[in-house]
Structure 1
Amino acid sequence: MLKLDEIKKPIAEQLDLFEDKFKQSMESSVPLLDRITHYIVKRKGKQIRPMFVFFSAGTCGDICEATHRGASLVELLHTATLVHDDVVDNSNERRGFFSVNALWKNKVAVLVGDYLLARGLSLSIRNDDFKLLKIVSEAVEHMSEGELLQMEKARRLDIDEAVYFEVIRKKTASLIASCCACGAASVTTDDDVINRMHTLGEKIGIAFQIKDDLFDFGVDDVGKPVGNDIKEKKLTLPLIYALKKSSKTEKRYFINLVKNHNEDAKRVREVIDYVKGSGGLSYAKEKMMEYQEEAFNILYTFPESAYRMGLEQLVKFTTERKK
């Protein structure tokens, strides 16, 4: 059996090959569209989603062309949602660079997002990858539902823990779940294996989002806390826990700060300090590690291999990352 160090080169080669295939999947005969998609590809992140696809596929079978198409499908549909999100949020930046809508305006950005969605659909249909298309389409559907649910609840600030987990399961975890399920479905037709991988990805995704929530309170020395979630009136797990433990008077007071004084840096700082003093961060860390442990328990039902070890490292990365 290959050791983890020995698999780094083959995985790196698969990712390089994927990069080429992904660029091809975005090609167009329209020069403006080609310029924009080239700009998007040049500014992509750490390739975490394709890595989940490839490691999951390797854990369940042999990586093949369908695996590459699954990784491209996930990236196409996810990139489309990011382009659309920047329009919805009126955001001018994405990963430290200008967003598509900032450079080419909203109308063009929406059309580019639509194009990427269509390319993902056509890539799957051309190759009869209906199982992969079903998995990813359901994820995009859930992501939209999660975003809208969060927006609805943000207006009234009535998110409890059950609603919070429903939001992040749909909004964040569904995508990572689709990566793991796509990887499995590209190499096997065994529904039990695919479903286990999907559940594994969902657990990882929830842990991933809780880690993001902790960053907003300055955890892990990533810099001065900025409280962006508070500024956007998002009730995340640390704050939800703190409010749950509060008296009625305290709860009213801090909800009022989030609702009506969320642009005031001193008031945001007050909320952050209150959450820290109420045990909100410790509780969120505990829940994050519970989900990671559940992910490991599912992962260890698969045969030991270097790919499984690689997936294990990705699971650890979700809770140990510094940004």
Structure 2
Amino acid sequence: MTLSIREIQAPIADEMKVFEQKFRQFMKSEVMLLDQIMNYIVRRKGKQLRPMFVFLSAGVCGPIDESTYRGAALIELLHTATLVHDDVVDDSNYRRGFFSVNALWKNKIAVLVGDYLLARGLLLSVDNKDFGLLKIVSTAVREISEGELLQMEKARRLDITEEVYYNIIRQKTASLIASCCATGACSVGASEEVVQRMHQFGEKVGIAFQIKDDLFDYGEAEVGKPLGIDIKEKKMTLPLIYALNQAGWMQKRQMINIIRNQSHKPKKVAEVIAFVKDSGGIEYAQGVMQRYVEEARLLLHEFEDSSYRTSLEQLVQYTIERSK
């Protein structure tokens, strides 16, 4: 049975409450419009998985301190900046069921808000001389941008290898969770080797997290993401890549043609979903996801047993058993 976020959060419940107050403080602005938008962003925050990874990773490596709060805030500020910019790039009006910043205040304001969040994060680190944290998180933001652009470049061809797929998700998704875990370790003064180990742990969790997201595209459940949306958006996911690799030349060509030219037709999307399921793409992706989770667990078990480690393990389980 999967535990709830509240149960997993138990060892850091007090820290998360304090973090929420501190984060509001970090986002404050004297410009009324900006302050209004910041309040809107704070109110619609999701499950807070990223700060949880930071605090639990810090707890595994040493006593949580002020630097940990700043590290978690830095991640949230820079990540929120990328999301606000993403919604402009994708021309998206919704995020997590709420109106996006660009939907309510238009693109020009949304871009400036993203820039403001980025600057707040950078200054928070520079003012407190948290250069180690800044390097970890800035590297992740660079990798996220590179991953997005690599995906756009490859999407035109629709015939990517598993190796390219892993490169894309390692940068696009896994680098952020990896930076959360490395930031937690770094914030409590862990050695370079330990910070690196936590980074590896987070990367493996991040890859498993993305494969779980890929699988939602083929599920019947209501998961907050429309069925077949990745196919409609011509995104090459692991179940589909595997299915195409198993197919004969003719069938492969036929499927790629549907994705390229007919993915706006629900009947055709259903055809691709059926093809992936019949080819064993779902089982294959589930197997790969479990392998990454197991590798992450082994890395985690190199650390001393504690309530933080137990919760971190539960959080990993939660990321692959979540329903949205």
Residue aligning to 1:160: 161
Q: CA RMSD, aligned part only?
A: 1.5
Measure how far apart 1:12 and its partner are: 1.5
> Structure 1 unaligned runs (5+)?
none
Residue aligning to 1:105: 106
Q: Supply the distance in 1 between the matched residues of 2:7 and 2:45 (Cα, whole angstroms).
A: 26
Residue aligning to 1:200: 201
**Which aligned segments of 4 or more residues in structure 1 are displaced greater than 6 angstroms?**
none
Residue aligning to 1:176: 177
Q: Supply the distance in 2 between the matched residues of 1:164 and 1:230 (Cα, whole angstroms).
A: 15
Residue 244 (1) aligns with residue 269 (2): no
Residue aligning to 1:146: 147
Measure how far apart 1:11 and its partner are: 1.3
What one-letter code is carried by the residue in structure 2 that aligns with 1:111?
L
User: Partner of 2:189: helix, strand, or coil?
Assistant: coil
Aligned identity (percent) is 66
Q: Supply the distance in 1 between the matched residues of 2:65 and 2:125 (Cα, whole angstroms).
A: 15
Residue 21 (1) aligns with residue 14 (2): no
Q: Supply the distance in 1 between the matched residues of 2:27 and 2:90 (Cα, whole angstroms).
A: 24
Residue aligning to 2:301: 300
Matched residue count: 319
The 5-angstrom pairing of residues 1-323 of structure 1 reads: 8-218=9-219, 222=223, 226-323=227-324
Q: Supply the distance in 2 between the matched residues of 1:224 and 1:274 (Cα, whole angstroms).
A: 20
User: Partner of 2:215: helix, strand, or coil?
Assistant: helix
Q: Supply the distance in 1 between the matched residues of 2:267 and 2:206 (Cα, whole angstroms).
A: 32
User: Partner of 2:63: helix, strand, or coil?
Assistant: coil
Deviations 1:198-248 (A, max 9, x none): 000000000000000000101667499620000000010000000000000
2:211 and 2:289 in contact (8 A); partners too: yes
What one-letter code is carried by the residue in structure 2 that aligns with 1:178?
S
1:7 and 1:306 in contact (8 A); partners too: no
> Structure 2 unaligned runs (5+)?
1-5
**Cα distance 1:299–1:130, how it changes in 2: closer, same or farther (>3 A)?**
same
1:204 and 1:292 in contact (8 A); partners too: yes
Measure how far apart 1:189 and its partner are: 3.8
Measure how far apart 1:67 and its partner are: 0.3
2:201 and 2:299 in contact (8 A); partners too: yes
1:207 and 1:319 in contact (8 A); partners too: yes
2:61 and 2:190 in contact (8 A); partners too: no
Q: Supply the distance in 1 between the matched residues of 2:210 and 2:225 (Cα, whole angstroms).
A: 20
Measure how far apart 1:158 and its partner are: 2.4
Measure how far apart 1:42 and its partner are: 0.1
**Cα distance 1:224–1:49, how it changes in 2: closer, same or farther (>3 A)?**
closer
Under a length normalisation based on structure 1, what TM-score does the superposition of the two structures give? 0.96
User: Partner of 2:30: helix, strand, or coil?
Assistant: coil
